[in-house]
A and B are shown apart, each in its own frame.
Chain A
Amino acid sequence: MDTSAPSPFVNGETLKTFLGRRVRTVVQVQHNEGGVLLGLSTDGHQLTIRGASGAPEPPHYIEVIGIADSSLSIRAESCTDFGENFDGVAFNGLCKLANDKYNYLFL
Chain B
Amino acid sequence: MYNGGDHYDGNGGGAANANSLFSGGGFMPSQTTNTPEGSGGGITKTRGAQTLLPLTVKQIMDASQTNDDKSSFVVNGTEVSTVRLVGRMMNKAERITDVRFILDDGTGRIEVNRWANETSDNTEMGLVKDGDYVIVNGGLKAFQGKRHIVAYSVRLVTNYNDITHHFLYCIYVHLDLAKAKKSATQPQVTANASTWNQAPPPNNQVPTLSASGNAGGQELTDMVMNVFHDPVLVNLDHGVSIAQVASRLNISDAVARSTVAHLIDLGNLYPTIDDNHYKSTLNG
Interface positions of A (Cβ within 8 A of B):
1-4, 6-9, 24, 61, 63, 78, 80, 82-83, 85-87, 90-91, 93-94, 97-98, 102, 104-107
Query: Binding site of A, secondary structure by majority: helix, strand, loop or mixed?
Result: mixed
Q: Would you give the shortest CB distance from B130 to chain A, in whole angstroms? A: 11
**Whole-angstrom distance between the alpha carbons of A63 and B61 in the complex?**
25
Once the chains bind, are A93 and B168 in contact (CB under 8 Å)? yes
Interface positions of B (Cβ within 8 A of A):
1-2, 56-61, 104, 106-111, 131, 133, 146-148, 160-161, 164-165, 167-168, 170-171, 174
Once the chains bind, are B108 and A2 in contact (CB under 8 Å)? yes
Residues of B within 8 A of A90 (CB): 161, 164-165, 168
Report if A1-B168 is in contact (Cβ < 8 Å); known contacts: A86-B160, A107-B58: no
Once the chains bind, are B164 and A1 in contact (CB under 8 Å)? no
Once the chains bind, are B161 and A105 in contact (CB under 8 Å)? no
A-B pairs, top 4 by smallest CB distance, nearest first, are A3-B108, A82-B160, A1-B110, A2-B109
Report if A3-B106 is in contact (Cβ < 8 Å); known contacts: A90-B161, A94-B164: no
Report if A63-B160 is in contact (Cβ < 8 Å); known contacts: A1-B110, A1-B148, A105-B56: yes
Residues of B within 8 A of A63 (CB): 160
Query: Binding site of B, secondary structure by majority: helix, strand, loop or mixed?
Result: mixed
Residues of A within 8 A of B108 (CB): 1-4, 6
Q: Would you give the shortest CB distance from A74 to chain B, in whole angstroms? A: 14
Once the chains bind, are B107 and A1 in contact (CB under 8 Å)? no
Residues of B within 8 A of A98 (CB): 167
Question: Looking at the complex, which one of A78, A80, A91, A107 makes contact with B107 (CB distance below 8 Å)?
Answer: A107
Once the chains bind, are A86 and B161 in contact (CB under 8 Å)? yes
**Whole-angstrom distance between the alpha carbons of A24 and B106 in the complex?**
8
Once the chains bind, are A8 and B174 in contact (CB under 8 Å)? no
Residues of A within 8 A of B164 (CB): 87, 90-91, 94
Residues of A within 8 A of B111 (CB): 1
Residues of B within 8 A of A78 (CB): 131
Report if A94-B107 is in contact (Cβ < 8 Å); known contacts: A1-B148, A3-B57, A78-B131: no
**Whole-angstrom distance between the alpha carbons of A30 and B128 in the complex?**
30
Which A-chain residue is minimally distant from B174 (CB atoms)?
Answer: A105
Q: Would you give the shortest CB distance from B220 to chain A, in whole angstroms? A: 35
Which A-chain residue is minimally distant from B160 (CB atoms)?
Answer: A82
**Whole-angstrom distance between the alpha carbons of A45 and B143 in the complex?**
45
Once the chains bind, are A3 and B107 in contact (CB under 8 Å)? yes
**Whole-angstrom distance between the alpha carbons of A93 and B167 in the complex?**
11
Q: Would you give the shortest CB distance from A54 to chain B, in whole angstroms? A: 13
Q: Would you give the shortest CB distance from B104 to chain A, in whole angstroms? A: 8
Which A-chain residue is minimally distant from B170 (CB atoms)?
Answer: A105
**Whole-angstrom distance between the alpha carbons of A6 and B104 in the complex?**
9
**Whole-angstrom distance between the alpha carbons of A83 and B167 in the complex?**
19
Report if A105-B133 is in contact (Cβ < 8 Å); known contacts: A6-B107, A97-B171: no
Once the chains bind, are B1 and A87 in contact (CB under 8 Å)? yes
Residues of A within 8 A of B133 (CB): 80
Q: Would you give the shortest CB distance from B96 to chain A, in whole angstroms? A: 25
Q: Would you give the shortest CB distance from A26 to chain B, in whole angstroms? A: 8
Question: Looking at the complex, which one of B57, B60, B174 makes contact with A102 (CB distance below 8 Å)?
Answer: B174
**Whole-angstrom distance between the alpha carbons of A85 and B164 in the complex?**
13
**Whole-angstrom distance between the alpha carbons of A2 and B60 in the complex?**
11
Q: Would you give the shortest CB distance from A97 to chain B, in whole angstroms? A: 6
Residues of A within 8 A of B167 (CB): 9, 94, 98, 106
